[in-house]
Amino acid sequence: MTMKKFRFSLETLLKLRKEKEQECEIVLARAAGELSVVRRRIDEAVEAGERAFQEQWASLDDLRSRELVLLKSMNDRKKLEKPLREASRKVDEARVVYTKAHAQRSALDKLKDKRKDQWKTHAKLEEIKRLDETSKGTEARRRLIGGDG
């Protein structure tokens, strides 16, 4: 007779929590991607403004055109401040939701591991008990059949 396979009674809930955690991870990754895009656009605006003044000035018109590039760069950065704050807020919110989902899934995983360890201990004790009973039965049969004690 073999022991029944371990079955975690909350396996369905654990599966749902894993799926929820994965969904939250995807939302967090998307939010981080959006934040990265905004930061890259800000960096590009800064670089455009810096490039405008790296070369020698040839004329007053050249200086004016470079000033316009710099002003456009500063304006672009200013326009991106609100999207940057919004993207950062979304990342923070998504991180909180993901952390909560991860903690809930992790708690169930730990409970499952604990219950599985308890099941293994119980199964080992049952196996030892069964073997002890079998060996006692064999010993008793030997005495009855063989007559020795």
Q: Which two tokens stand for residue 119?
A: 């099941």
**Chain centre to alpha carbon of residue 120:** 29
- The one-letter amino acid at 11: E
Q: Where does the pLDDT of residue 145 fall: very low under 50, low under 70, confident under 90, or very high at 90 and above?
A: confident
**Alpha carbons 65 and 11: distance in angstroms, whole number:** 67
Task: Please tell me the number of Cα atoms within 13 Å of 64 on its side-chain side.
Answer: 3
Model confidence over 20-62: pLDDT tens digits?
A: 999 999 999 999 999 999 999 999 988 887 887 777 767 778 7
The pTM of the whole model exceeds 0.85: no
Every domain of the chain and the residues it spans: 12-112
The pLDDT of residue 65 is above 70: yes
Span 117-131, mean pLDDT? 89
The pLDDT of residue 83 is above 90: yes
Q: Where does the pLDDT of residue 1 fall: very low under 50, low under 70, confident under 90, or very high at 90 and above?
A: low
Task: Please give the pLDDT value at position 142.
Answer: 73
Task: Please give the pLDDT value at position 58.
Answer: 74
Cα–Cα separations (whole angstroms), residue 1 to 22, 82, 127, 131: 40, 69, 10, 11
Task: Please give the pLDDT value at position 86.
Answer: 97
Please give the CATH architecture assigned to the domain spanning 12-112.
Up-down Bundle (1.20)
73 close to 45: Cβ distance less than 8 angstroms: yes
- The one-letter amino acid at 48: A
